[in-house]
Amino acid sequence: MDLKRSYSRPLKKLTAVGLRPTSQRMILAKLLFDDTNRHVTAEILHKEALNLRKKVSLATVYNTLHLFTGVGLLREIVVDAGCIYFDTNTTKHHHFYCEDTRELIDIDGGDIQFDQLPKPPFGQYIREVDIIVRVKKN
């Protein structure tokens, strides 16, 4: 495997937002940004790092995911209080959440139409609407 080449995309991602490419950040960035868009939890990513025999603590994974989110590399999707996903697709889109498989599937932003939204509380405006459509097998 050409290591230099396999780390070039994650390295570009980190340096483009001004993050220092520490070895742990590079390991996690490689898992996240290597190929197609992904939805991961901290636990999933931690398991993947361990499978590669990389020593990264779950706390480091959490901190790195939040750091990447803060600089716009990831989007946080809160399914419920105990279930937070991080999305490598940071463009505007919505999600199906499959309750049986605990999986998020992208819904294109244009596939949901709003006829009417509630009036926001006084002095506030609607900045964004995130839809999670929860589905189950029949």
The answer to whether 103 touches 116, Cβ cutoff 8 Å, is: no
Tokens of 24: 């742990």
Q: In this chain, which of 11, 44, 106, 107 binds Zn ion, going by CB under 5 A?
A: 106
User: Rule CB under 5 A: is residue 88 a binding residue for Zn ion?
Assistant: no
User: Rule CB under 5 A: is residue 76 a binding residue for Zn ion?
Assistant: no
Please list the residues that pair with 104 across neighbouring strands. Answer: 97
Tokens of 60: 């480091």
Interface mask toward Zn ion for 34-73; x: CB under 5 A? ----------------------------------------
Choose the binding region for Zn ion from 7-15, 45-53, 86-94, 121-129 (rule: CB under 5 A).
86-94
Please list the residues that pair with 96 across neighbouring strands. Answer: 105, 133
User: Rule CB under 5 A: is residue 87 a binding residue for Zn ion?
Assistant: yes
Cα–Cα separations (whole angstroms), residue 81 to 32, 35, 84, 85, 116: 23, 29, 7, 11, 27
- CB of residue 11 to Zn ion, shortest distance in Å: 24
Q: Which residues bind Zn ion (CB under 5 A)?
A: 87, 89, 106
